[in-house]
Structure 1
Amino acid sequence: MRVAIAGAGAVGRSVAAELIENGHQVLLIDKAPVSIKPERVPDAEWLLADCCELSSLSEARLEACDVVIAATGDDKANLVVSLLAKTEFGVPRTVGRVNHPDNEWLFTEAWGVDVNVSTPRIMSALVEEAVAVGDIVRLFTFRQGNANLVELTLPDDSPYVGTPTGLIPFPENCALVTILRDGQVYTPDGEQPIESGDELLFVASAAVEADLERLLAPSRHPSE
Protein backbone atom coordinates (compact mmCIF):
# COMPACT_ATOMS: atom_id res chain seq x y z
CA MET A 1 0.00 0.00 0.00
CA ARG A 2 1.28 3.47 -0.89
CA VAL A 3 0.60 6.18 1.70
CA ALA A 4 1.28 9.91 1.51
CA ILE A 5 1.56 11.82 4.77
CA ALA A 6 1.19 15.60 4.75
CA GLY A 7 3.17 16.92 7.69
CA ALA A 8 6.60 15.55 8.58
CA GLY A 9 6.60 16.61 12.21
CA ALA A 10 6.79 14.19 15.13
CA VAL A 11 3.31 12.80 14.44
CA GLY A 12 3.85 12.32 10.72
CA ARG A 13 7.24 10.69 11.20
CA SER A 14 5.94 8.32 13.88
CA VAL A 15 3.06 7.20 11.67
CA ALA A 16 5.43 6.79 8.72
CA ALA A 17 7.85 4.63 10.70
CA GLU A 18 5.01 2.39 11.88
CA LEU A 19 3.58 1.98 8.37
CA ILE A 20 7.00 1.21 6.88
CA GLU A 21 7.59 -1.40 9.58
CA ASN A 22 4.32 -3.00 8.47
CA GLY A 23 5.55 -3.20 4.88
CA HIS A 24 3.94 -0.11 3.30
CA GLN A 25 5.47 2.55 1.04
CA VAL A 26 5.35 6.02 2.57
CA LEU A 27 5.91 9.53 1.22
CA LEU A 28 6.37 12.37 3.72
CA ILE A 29 5.54 15.90 2.52
CA ASP A 30 6.34 19.14 4.33
CA LYS A 31 6.93 22.74 3.27
CA ALA A 32 9.33 23.55 6.12
CA PRO A 33 12.96 22.66 5.33
CA VAL A 34 13.63 22.12 9.02
CA SER A 35 11.08 19.28 9.01
CA ILE A 36 12.77 17.38 6.19
CA LYS A 37 14.84 14.89 8.15
CA PRO A 38 15.38 11.77 6.04
CA GLU A 39 17.70 10.31 8.66
CA ARG A 40 14.75 10.04 11.06
CA VAL A 41 12.78 7.77 8.70
CA PRO A 42 15.37 6.60 6.17
CA ASP A 43 13.10 4.17 4.32
CA ALA A 44 10.49 6.82 3.51
CA GLU A 45 10.36 9.06 0.45
CA TRP A 46 10.60 12.78 1.26
CA LEU A 47 9.25 15.80 -0.58
CA LEU A 48 9.84 19.46 0.30
CA ALA A 49 6.60 21.07 -0.89
CA ASP A 50 3.46 22.88 0.21
CA CYS A 51 0.84 20.16 0.59
CA CYS A 52 -1.95 22.70 0.08
CA GLU A 53 -0.76 23.46 -3.46
CA LEU A 54 -2.26 21.42 -6.26
CA SER A 55 1.04 21.41 -8.14
CA SER A 56 2.82 19.96 -5.11
CA LEU A 57 0.31 17.14 -4.81
CA SER A 58 0.69 16.42 -8.51
CA GLU A 59 4.43 16.20 -8.02
CA ALA A 60 3.78 13.79 -5.16
CA ARG A 61 1.68 11.61 -7.53
CA LEU A 62 -1.22 11.44 -5.13
CA GLU A 63 -3.30 9.63 -7.72
CA ALA A 64 -1.04 6.61 -7.13
CA CYS A 65 -1.69 6.60 -3.37
CA ASP A 66 -4.09 4.29 -1.59
CA VAL A 67 -4.28 6.51 1.50
CA VAL A 68 -3.50 10.14 2.28
CA ILE A 69 -2.97 11.17 5.89
CA ALA A 70 -3.28 14.88 6.68
CA ALA A 71 -1.16 15.11 9.82
CA THR A 72 -0.01 18.71 9.98
CA GLY A 73 -0.45 20.88 13.06
CA ASP A 74 -2.83 23.16 11.15
CA ASP A 75 -6.47 22.06 10.88
CA LYS A 76 -7.09 24.29 7.85
CA ALA A 77 -4.22 22.67 5.99
CA ASN A 78 -5.44 19.20 6.91
CA LEU A 79 -8.88 19.97 5.51
CA VAL A 80 -7.46 21.36 2.27
CA VAL A 81 -5.20 18.35 1.79
CA SER A 82 -8.05 15.92 2.40
CA LEU A 83 -10.40 17.72 0.03
CA LEU A 84 -7.84 17.95 -2.77
CA ALA A 85 -6.79 14.33 -2.31
CA LYS A 86 -10.37 13.13 -2.60
CA THR A 87 -11.75 15.43 -5.30
CA GLU A 88 -8.73 16.09 -7.54
CA PHE A 89 -6.81 12.83 -7.24
CA GLY A 90 -9.48 10.27 -6.34
CA VAL A 91 -7.59 8.89 -3.34
CA PRO A 92 -9.66 6.00 -1.94
CA ARG A 93 -9.04 6.74 1.75
CA THR A 94 -8.20 9.93 3.62
CA VAL A 95 -7.41 10.39 7.29
CA GLY A 96 -7.45 13.85 8.87
CA ARG A 97 -5.76 14.87 12.10
CA VAL A 98 -7.87 17.19 14.29
CA ASN A 99 -5.69 19.49 16.37
CA HIS A 100 -8.39 21.66 17.95
CA PRO A 101 -11.54 19.93 19.27
CA ASP A 102 -13.74 22.87 18.20
CA ASN A 103 -12.93 22.03 14.58
CA GLU A 104 -13.87 18.36 14.73
CA TRP A 105 -17.31 18.96 13.18
CA LEU A 106 -15.61 20.11 9.96
CA PHE A 107 -13.72 16.85 9.43
CA THR A 108 -16.42 15.04 7.48
CA GLU A 109 -16.94 13.63 3.99
CA ALA A 110 -18.00 17.12 2.86
CA TRP A 111 -14.34 18.11 3.25
CA GLY A 112 -13.06 14.84 1.84
CA VAL A 113 -12.24 13.28 5.22
CA ASP A 114 -13.09 9.60 5.52
CA VAL A 115 -11.73 9.21 9.05
CA ASN A 116 -10.85 11.93 11.52
CA VAL A 117 -8.46 11.39 14.40
CA SER A 118 -8.92 13.75 17.33
CA THR A 119 -6.30 13.44 20.07
CA PRO A 120 -8.50 15.11 22.73
CA ARG A 121 -11.39 12.75 21.92
CA ILE A 122 -9.14 9.69 22.03
CA MET A 123 -7.66 10.70 25.37
CA SER A 124 -11.07 11.36 26.92
CA ALA A 125 -12.39 8.06 25.55
CA LEU A 126 -9.48 6.16 27.10
CA VAL A 127 -10.13 7.80 30.47
CA GLU A 128 -13.85 6.99 30.29
CA GLU A 129 -13.15 3.45 29.15
CA ALA A 130 -10.98 2.91 32.20
CA VAL A 131 -13.54 4.04 34.77
CA ALA A 132 -17.03 3.79 33.27
CA VAL A 133 -19.21 0.75 33.99
CA GLY A 134 -22.54 0.27 32.25
CA ASP A 135 -22.08 3.31 30.02
CA ILE A 136 -21.35 3.40 26.31
CA VAL A 137 -17.92 4.88 25.57
CA ARG A 138 -17.43 5.89 21.95
CA LEU A 139 -13.91 4.99 20.85
CA PHE A 140 -13.97 5.58 17.10
CA THR A 141 -16.27 6.82 14.36
CA PHE A 142 -16.47 5.18 10.94
CA ARG A 143 -17.45 8.10 8.73
CA GLN A 144 -18.37 6.10 5.66
CA GLY A 145 -20.52 3.59 7.52
CA ASN A 146 -22.28 6.00 9.90
CA ALA A 147 -21.29 3.70 12.72
CA ASN A 148 -19.12 3.83 15.83
CA LEU A 149 -16.78 1.50 17.65
CA VAL A 150 -18.08 1.61 21.21
CA GLU A 151 -17.24 -0.08 24.50
CA LEU A 152 -19.41 -1.04 27.46
CA THR A 153 -18.15 -2.66 30.67
CA LEU A 154 -20.82 -5.08 31.89
CA PRO A 155 -22.01 -4.23 35.43
CA ASP A 156 -22.55 -6.84 38.15
CA ASP A 157 -26.32 -6.37 38.08
CA SER A 158 -26.80 -6.76 34.33
CA PRO A 159 -29.64 -9.18 33.59
CA TYR A 160 -27.46 -10.85 30.96
CA VAL A 161 -24.52 -11.88 33.17
CA GLY A 162 -23.81 -15.51 32.25
CA THR A 163 -25.99 -15.42 29.15
CA PRO A 164 -24.60 -16.77 25.84
CA THR A 165 -24.24 -13.96 23.31
CA GLY A 166 -26.50 -15.75 20.85
CA LEU A 167 -29.42 -15.43 23.27
CA ILE A 168 -29.07 -11.69 23.90
CA PRO A 169 -31.52 -9.55 21.88
CA PHE A 170 -29.05 -6.91 20.75
CA PRO A 171 -30.60 -3.98 18.84
CA GLU A 172 -30.54 -3.88 15.06
CA ASN A 173 -27.59 -2.05 13.51
CA CYS A 174 -25.40 -3.33 16.32
CA ALA A 175 -22.79 -6.10 16.31
CA LEU A 176 -20.75 -7.46 19.21
CA VAL A 177 -17.25 -7.94 17.80
CA THR A 178 -15.01 -8.71 20.80
CA ILE A 179 -15.15 -9.60 24.48
CA LEU A 180 -12.17 -8.54 26.61
CA ARG A 181 -11.79 -10.46 29.87
CA ASP A 182 -8.81 -10.81 32.21
CA GLY A 183 -6.38 -9.68 29.55
CA GLN A 184 -7.74 -12.15 27.00
CA VAL A 185 -9.64 -11.54 23.78
CA TYR A 186 -12.69 -13.71 23.13
CA THR A 187 -14.59 -13.94 19.86
CA PRO A 188 -18.36 -14.04 20.41
CA ASP A 189 -19.59 -17.19 18.69
CA GLY A 190 -23.15 -17.28 19.98
CA GLU A 191 -22.29 -19.76 22.74
CA GLN A 192 -19.75 -17.57 24.56
CA PRO A 193 -21.44 -16.17 27.71
CA ILE A 194 -20.73 -12.65 28.93
CA GLU A 195 -19.63 -12.09 32.51
CA SER A 196 -19.59 -9.24 35.01
CA GLY A 197 -16.70 -6.90 34.28
CA ASP A 198 -16.36 -7.93 30.64
CA GLU A 199 -15.42 -5.14 28.26
CA LEU A 200 -17.72 -5.54 25.28
CA LEU A 201 -16.75 -3.93 21.99
CA PHE A 202 -19.51 -3.20 19.49
CA VAL A 203 -19.84 -1.65 16.07
CA ALA A 204 -23.13 0.21 16.31
CA SER A 205 -25.01 3.10 14.83
CA ALA A 206 -25.36 6.13 17.08
CA ALA A 207 -29.13 5.70 17.06
CA VAL A 208 -28.99 2.42 19.02
CA GLU A 209 -26.35 3.29 21.61
CA ALA A 210 -28.91 4.29 24.24
CA ASP A 211 -30.91 1.10 23.54
CA LEU A 212 -27.76 -0.94 24.10
CA GLU A 213 -27.14 0.75 27.45
CA ARG A 214 -30.72 0.12 28.56
CA LEU A 215 -30.47 -3.53 27.48
CA LEU A 216 -27.23 -4.39 29.26
CA ALA A 217 -27.36 -1.97 32.20
CA PRO A 218 -31.05 -1.22 32.87
CA SER A 219 -30.51 -0.19 36.50
CA ARG A 220 -28.20 2.59 35.34
CA HIS A 221 -30.29 3.55 32.31
CA PRO A 222 -33.99 3.08 33.10
CA SER A 223 -36.44 3.40 30.22
CA GLU A 224 -38.02 6.82 29.83
Structure 2
Amino acid sequence: MRVVVAGAGRLGSQTARALAAAHNDVTLVDIDDDRLAALADRFPARLVAGDAGDPALLERAGAYTADLLIATTGNDDDNLVISLLAKRRFAVPRVAARVNDTENTWLFDHRWGVDTAVPTAAPLISLIEEATEAADTVALLRLSRAGVTVIETAITAHSRTAGRSLAEVRLPSGTVVATVVRGGRPTVPDPRLRLAPGDELLLVSHSATEDEVRAAFQ
Protein backbone atom coordinates (compact mmCIF):
# COMPACT_ATOMS: atom_id res chain seq x y z
CA MET A 1 0.00 0.00 0.00
CA ARG A 2 1.26 3.48 -0.88
CA VAL A 3 0.77 5.97 1.95
CA VAL A 4 1.38 9.71 2.30
CA VAL A 5 1.52 11.04 5.87
CA ALA A 6 1.29 14.83 6.20
CA GLY A 7 2.84 16.15 9.39
CA ALA A 8 6.02 14.82 10.98
CA GLY A 9 5.17 15.55 14.59
CA ARG A 10 5.05 12.76 17.17
CA LEU A 11 1.84 11.24 15.83
CA GLY A 12 2.77 11.58 12.16
CA SER A 13 6.27 10.20 12.52
CA GLN A 14 5.09 7.26 14.65
CA THR A 15 2.33 6.51 12.14
CA ALA A 16 4.78 6.61 9.24
CA ARG A 17 7.25 4.41 11.09
CA ALA A 18 4.56 1.86 12.01
CA LEU A 19 3.15 1.64 8.49
CA ALA A 20 6.63 1.35 6.99
CA ALA A 21 7.47 -1.44 9.44
CA ALA A 22 4.40 -3.24 8.10
CA HIS A 23 6.04 -3.08 4.64
CA ASN A 24 3.99 -0.27 3.15
CA ASP A 25 5.51 2.32 0.81
CA VAL A 26 5.36 5.43 3.02
CA THR A 27 6.18 9.09 2.35
CA LEU A 28 6.28 11.54 5.28
CA VAL A 29 5.80 15.24 4.50
CA ASP A 30 6.52 18.23 6.75
CA ILE A 31 7.11 21.93 6.23
CA ASP A 32 9.83 22.00 8.91
CA ASP A 33 13.22 21.12 7.39
CA ASP A 34 14.84 20.79 10.81
CA ARG A 35 12.20 18.34 11.99
CA LEU A 36 12.78 16.12 8.95
CA ALA A 37 16.54 16.40 9.34
CA ALA A 38 16.22 15.07 12.87
CA LEU A 39 14.38 12.03 11.50
CA ALA A 40 16.59 11.45 8.47
CA ASP A 41 19.02 8.97 10.01
CA ARG A 42 17.66 5.47 9.33
CA PHE A 43 14.02 6.58 9.19
CA PRO A 44 12.15 3.84 7.28
CA ALA A 45 10.00 6.21 5.16
CA ARG A 46 10.72 8.64 2.35
CA LEU A 47 10.94 12.21 3.66
CA VAL A 48 9.71 15.20 1.65
CA ALA A 49 10.11 18.78 2.84
CA GLY A 50 7.40 21.30 2.03
CA ASP A 51 3.83 22.43 2.63
CA ALA A 52 1.40 19.52 2.20
CA GLY A 53 -1.30 22.11 1.45
CA ASP A 54 0.51 22.88 -1.81
CA PRO A 55 -0.80 20.70 -4.68
CA ALA A 56 2.61 20.64 -6.37
CA LEU A 57 4.22 19.34 -3.19
CA LEU A 58 1.55 16.66 -2.73
CA GLU A 59 2.08 15.57 -6.32
CA ARG A 60 5.83 15.30 -5.69
CA ALA A 61 5.09 13.24 -2.57
CA GLY A 62 3.16 10.73 -4.66
CA ALA A 63 -0.46 11.70 -4.04
CA TYR A 64 -1.58 10.61 -7.53
CA THR A 65 -0.63 7.00 -6.82
CA ALA A 66 -1.37 6.94 -3.08
CA ASP A 67 -3.84 4.44 -1.66
CA LEU A 68 -4.09 6.33 1.62
CA LEU A 69 -3.33 9.83 2.89
CA ILE A 70 -3.24 10.65 6.59
CA ALA A 71 -3.21 14.31 7.67
CA THR A 72 -1.72 14.51 11.17
CA THR A 73 -0.63 18.13 11.52
CA GLY A 74 -1.40 20.05 14.69
CA ASN A 75 -3.63 22.50 12.81
CA ASP A 76 -7.21 21.55 11.88
CA ASP A 77 -7.39 24.06 9.01
CA ASP A 78 -4.28 22.53 7.44
CA ASN A 79 -5.62 18.99 7.87
CA LEU A 80 -8.89 19.92 6.17
CA VAL A 81 -7.17 21.60 3.21
CA ILE A 82 -4.80 18.65 2.79
CA SER A 83 -7.69 16.20 2.95
CA LEU A 84 -9.75 18.13 0.41
CA LEU A 85 -6.82 18.29 -2.02
CA ALA A 86 -6.11 14.59 -1.56
CA LYS A 87 -9.67 13.58 -2.32
CA ARG A 88 -10.79 16.13 -4.90
CA ARG A 89 -7.61 16.80 -6.88
CA PHE A 90 -5.70 13.53 -6.49
CA ALA A 91 -8.60 11.11 -5.97
CA VAL A 92 -6.86 9.35 -3.10
CA PRO A 93 -9.13 6.37 -2.29
CA ARG A 94 -8.92 6.75 1.48
CA VAL A 95 -8.22 9.89 3.52
CA ALA A 96 -7.90 10.09 7.29
CA ALA A 97 -7.41 13.28 9.28
CA ARG A 98 -6.55 14.17 12.83
CA VAL A 99 -9.01 16.39 14.70
CA ASN A 100 -7.10 18.60 17.14
CA ASP A 101 -10.04 20.63 18.47
CA THR A 102 -13.15 18.55 19.24
CA GLU A 103 -15.34 21.54 18.39
CA ASN A 104 -14.22 21.13 14.77
CA THR A 105 -15.19 17.46 14.53
CA TRP A 106 -18.35 18.25 12.53
CA LEU A 107 -16.21 19.63 9.70
CA PHE A 108 -14.25 16.42 9.20
CA ASP A 109 -16.53 14.55 6.79
CA HIS A 110 -16.91 13.79 3.08
CA ARG A 111 -17.51 17.46 2.25
CA TRP A 112 -13.86 18.09 3.08
CA GLY A 113 -12.67 14.80 1.61
CA VAL A 114 -12.30 13.06 4.96
CA ASP A 115 -13.23 9.38 5.12
CA THR A 116 -12.06 8.88 8.70
CA ALA A 117 -11.81 11.58 11.38
CA VAL A 118 -9.57 10.63 14.28
CA PRO A 119 -9.68 12.56 17.59
CA THR A 120 -6.28 13.71 18.80
CA ALA A 121 -6.72 11.61 21.94
CA ALA A 122 -7.15 8.37 19.96
CA PRO A 123 -4.23 5.94 20.32
CA LEU A 124 -1.87 5.38 17.40
CA ILE A 125 -3.17 1.85 16.79
CA SER A 126 -6.75 3.08 16.47
CA LEU A 127 -5.70 5.74 13.97
CA ILE A 128 -3.93 3.23 11.76
CA GLU A 129 -6.69 0.64 11.96
CA GLU A 130 -9.40 3.16 11.09
CA ALA A 131 -7.32 4.67 8.30
CA THR A 132 -6.33 1.39 6.67
CA GLU A 133 -9.39 -0.71 7.55
CA ALA A 134 -6.94 -3.56 8.06
CA ALA A 135 -6.35 -4.64 11.63
CA ASP A 136 -3.84 -7.30 10.56
CA THR A 137 -1.58 -4.57 9.17
CA VAL A 138 -0.70 -3.51 12.69
CA ALA A 139 -1.23 -6.75 14.59
CA LEU A 140 2.26 -6.66 16.08
CA LEU A 141 1.72 -3.11 17.30
CA ARG A 142 -1.01 -4.35 19.63
CA LEU A 143 1.81 -5.70 21.78
CA SER A 144 2.41 -2.11 22.88
CA ARG A 145 -0.74 -2.32 24.98
CA ALA A 146 1.01 -5.00 27.03
CA GLY A 147 4.11 -2.83 27.44
CA VAL A 148 5.96 -4.51 24.57
CA THR A 149 7.66 -2.51 21.81
CA VAL A 150 8.20 -3.64 18.22
CA ILE A 151 11.62 -2.54 16.93
CA GLU A 152 13.01 -2.87 13.40
CA THR A 153 16.67 -2.98 12.40
CA ALA A 154 18.39 -3.77 9.10
CA ILE A 155 21.62 -5.60 8.36
CA THR A 156 24.07 -3.93 5.96
CA ALA A 157 27.44 -4.93 4.59
CA HIS A 158 29.00 -2.86 7.38
CA SER A 159 27.01 -4.44 10.23
CA ARG A 160 29.26 -6.39 12.55
CA THR A 161 26.68 -9.16 12.76
CA ALA A 162 26.62 -9.76 8.98
CA GLY A 163 27.64 -13.37 8.48
CA ARG A 164 27.00 -14.30 12.11
CA SER A 165 24.24 -16.59 13.28
CA LEU A 166 21.40 -15.30 15.44
CA ALA A 167 22.72 -17.48 18.27
CA GLU A 168 25.92 -15.38 18.27
CA VAL A 169 24.10 -12.09 18.78
CA ARG A 170 23.79 -10.92 22.38
CA LEU A 171 20.35 -9.37 22.63
CA PRO A 172 19.32 -6.86 25.30
CA SER A 173 17.46 -8.35 28.23
CA GLY A 174 13.77 -9.04 27.59
CA THR A 175 14.19 -8.93 23.78
CA VAL A 176 13.46 -11.62 21.18
CA VAL A 177 13.64 -11.74 17.39
CA ALA A 178 10.10 -12.07 16.01
CA THR A 179 11.03 -12.57 12.36
CA VAL A 180 13.79 -12.04 9.81
CA VAL A 181 12.60 -10.63 6.48
CA ARG A 182 14.86 -11.76 3.64
CA GLY A 183 14.11 -11.03 0.01
CA GLY A 184 10.73 -9.65 1.00
CA ARG A 185 9.73 -12.89 2.75
CA PRO A 186 9.54 -13.41 6.53
CA THR A 187 11.57 -16.37 7.78
CA VAL A 188 11.55 -18.27 11.06
CA PRO A 189 14.27 -16.82 13.34
CA ASP A 190 16.18 -20.09 13.76
CA PRO A 191 19.23 -19.57 16.03
CA ARG A 192 21.39 -21.15 13.29
CA LEU A 193 20.26 -18.59 10.68
CA ARG A 194 23.22 -16.54 9.47
CA LEU A 195 22.44 -12.88 8.97
CA ALA A 196 23.15 -11.33 5.58
CA PRO A 197 23.19 -7.77 4.19
CA GLY A 198 19.65 -6.80 3.25
CA ASP A 199 18.03 -8.75 6.08
CA GLU A 200 15.41 -6.82 8.05
CA LEU A 201 14.67 -7.94 11.60
CA LEU A 202 11.57 -7.29 13.68
CA LEU A 203 12.18 -7.68 17.40
CA VAL A 204 9.89 -7.35 20.39
CA SER A 205 11.07 -6.09 23.73
CA HIS A 206 9.55 -4.94 27.00
CA SER A 207 12.58 -2.97 28.14
CA ALA A 208 15.17 -2.27 25.41
CA THR A 209 15.36 0.94 23.41
CA GLU A 210 15.80 1.18 19.65
CA ASP A 211 19.40 2.31 20.16
CA GLU A 212 20.16 -0.71 22.34
CA VAL A 213 18.70 -3.10 19.80
CA ARG A 214 20.55 -1.55 16.89
CA ALA A 215 23.79 -1.52 18.86
CA ALA A 216 23.47 -5.28 19.28
CA PHE A 217 23.41 -5.77 15.51
CA GLN A 218 25.32 -2.83 14.06
Aligned residue number for residue 105 of structure 1: 106
Contact 2:32/2:49 (<8 A) preserved: yes
Q: How far does residue 39 in structure 1 lie from its aligned partner after superposition?
A: 3.5
The alignment covers a number of residue pairs equal to 125
Q: How far does residue 43 in structure 1 lie from its aligned partner after superposition?
A: 1.6
Contact 1:38/1:44 (<8 A) preserved: no
User: What is the alpha-carbon distance in structure 2 between the residues aligned to residue 81 and residue 88 of structure 1?
Assistant: 10
Structure 2: runs of 5+ lacking an equivalent: 124-129, 132-218
Contact 2:2/2:26 (<8 A) preserved: yes
User: What is the alpha-carbon distance in structure 1 between the residues aligned to residue 25 and residue 31 of structure 2?
Assistant: 20
User: What is the alpha-carbon distance in structure 1 between the residues aligned to residue 42 and residue 70 of structure 2?
Assistant: 16
Counterpart check, 1:7 vs 2:7 = yes
Structure 1 residue identity aligned to 2:35: S
Per-residue CA deviations over 1:30-74 (Å, capped at 9, x if unaligned) read 111122133366221000010011111121120110000000000
Aligned residue number for residue 200 of structure 1: none
Q: How far does residue 17 in structure 1 lie from its aligned partner after superposition?
A: 1.0
Change (3 A) 1:41 1:74: farther
Contact 1:29/1:48 (<8 A) preserved: yes
Per-residue CA deviations over 1:78-128 (Å, capped at 9, x if unaligned) read 0000000000001000000000101111000000000000034x48xxxxx
Aligned residue number for residue 27 of structure 1: 27
Per-residue CA deviations over 1:198-218 (Å, capped at 9, x if unaligned) read xxxxxxxxxxxxxxxxxxxxx
Q: How far does residue 22 in structure 1 lie from its aligned partner after superposition?
A: 1.0
TM-score (norm 2): 0.54
Aligned residue number for residue 44 of structure 1: 45
Change (3 A) 1:113 1:23: same
Moved over 2 A (4+): 37-41
Structural RMSD (CA): 2.1
Aligned residue number for residue 181 of structure 1: none
Structure 2 residue identity aligned to 1:62: A
Structure 2 residue identity aligned to 1:90: A
User: What is the alpha-carbon distance in structure 1 between the residues aligned to residue 30 and residue 42 of structure 2?
Assistant: 14
Change (3 A) 1:119 1:38: closer
Change (3 A) 1:41 1:105: farther
Aligned residue number for residue 58 of structure 2: 57
Map residues 128-139 of structure 1 onto 2, 5 A cutoff: none
Between structures 1 and 2, the one with greater helix share = 2
Structure 2 residue identity aligned to 1:106: L
TM-score (norm 1): 0.53
Question: Counterpart of 1:27 in 2: which secondary structure?
Answer: strand
Q: How far does residue 20 in structure 1 lie from its aligned partner after superposition?
A: 1.1
Contact 1:95/1:117 (<8 A) preserved: yes
Contact 1:7/1:30 (<8 A) preserved: yes
Aligned residue number for residue 187 of structure 2: none
Map residues 81-160 of structure 1 onto 2, 5 A cutoff: 81-120=82-121, 122=122
Structure 2 residue identity aligned to 1:91: V
Contact 2:21/2:44 (<8 A) preserved: no
Change (3 A) 1:111 1:22: same
Counterpart check, 1:66 vs 2:91 = no
Question: Counterpart of 2:81 in 1: which secondary structure?
Answer: helix
Per-residue CA deviations over 1:131-167 (Å, capped at 9, x if unaligned) read xxxxxxxxxxx89xxxxxxxxxxxxxxxxxxxxxxxx
Structure 1 residue identity aligned to 2:106: W
